[in-house]
Structure formats: structure tokens, C-alpha cells
């Protein structure tokens, strides 16, 4: 069965530094998509970045980049130049297959950015 694993319950980073949030996944399908969402204390899930399983280049969106290592089944999120407003929960999610859009989420990582 498909599964997303986020092994870091919490991470701390100093403002302006880069941080990597880990995500590994398990799927037997060849076609899948990987997402990262940010959930601030207000509760809304904010889409950050997407990587398709057939994408040859790592996805980037502003300060966010996804370090996609297909053979290792990992899709780590890298946040560069951390800001205080980056403090939130971060969830990795997977959409398995071509004809489904059901998302499977990990348990999340709480990121704290300090001055």
C-alpha cells in the first residue's frame, strides 16, 4: 500500500539559513505525483510545490525546491533563506497513479524559525 513517511516531528532553523525537510514514499506505481503543503496555525493547507514522477528536473518555486531522488524514493523539501513566517507544519503528500487524484499525506514536520 502507498505510504508517506516524515521522520522529523520537529525542526529548528535560524532565520536566513536553509533547511531540509525529509519525506520518503512507498508506491508500486510508476506514475505518481508528490506535493508539499504548508499548514500555519490558522489551519489552512497552502500548496508549495509539485513533482511528477516522470519529471527529469527537480521542481523549484521561489525559495522552495524539491530534492527528488527517485531510486531512493525520497522527495525532500528545501527551504532557502528561512523567514520567521515559515514557521508552520509541513506535509508531504503523494498522488498515486494516473487516473486518481486521491492524496495520501504524511504525519508532518513542525518547523520553527528563530531570529
Partner 1 sequence: EAGVAQSPRYKIIEKRQSVAFWCNPISGHATLYWYQQILGQGPKLLIQFQNNGVVDDSQLPKDRFSAERLKGVDSTLKIQPAKLEDSAVYLCASSLFGATGETQYFGPGTRLLVL
Binding site for partner 1 (CB under 8 A): 4, 31, 33, 35, 37, 42-47, 50, 52, 91, 93, 95, 97-103, 105-108
Q: Find out whether 59 and 86 touch, Cβ atoms under 8 Å.
A: no
Q: Which is nearer to partner 1, 10 or 15 (CB)?
A: 10
Least separation in angstroms between CB 112 and partner 1: 16
Least separation in angstroms between CB 79 and partner 1: 19
For the CA atoms of 27, 28, 33, 34, the dihedral, rounded to the nearest 10 degrees, stands at: 20
Q: Which is nearer to partner 1, 83 or 100 (CB)?
A: 100
Q: Find out whether 77 and 48 touch, Cβ atoms under 8 Å.
A: yes
Amino acid at each position: 500500500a502507498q505510504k508517506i513517511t516524515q521522520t522529523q516531528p520537529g525542526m529548528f532553523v535560524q532565520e536566513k539559513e536553509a533547511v531540509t525537510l525529509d519525506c520518503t514514499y512507498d508506491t508500486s506505481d510508476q506514475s505518481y505525483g508528490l506535493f508539499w503543503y504548508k499548514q500555519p496555525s490558522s489551519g489552512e493547507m497552502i500548496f508549495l510545490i509539485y513533482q511528477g514522477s516522470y519529471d527529469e528536473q527537480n521542481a523549484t518555486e521561489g525559495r522552495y525546491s524539491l530534492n527528488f531522488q527517485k531510486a531512493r524514493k525520497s522527495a525532500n523539501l528545501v527551504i532557502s533563506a528561512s523567514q520567521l513566517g515559515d514557521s508552520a507544519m509541513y506535509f508531504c503528500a503523494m498522488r498515486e497513479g494516473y487516473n486518481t487524484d486521491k492524496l495520501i499525506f504524511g504525519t508532518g514536520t513542525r518547523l520553527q524559525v528563530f531570529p
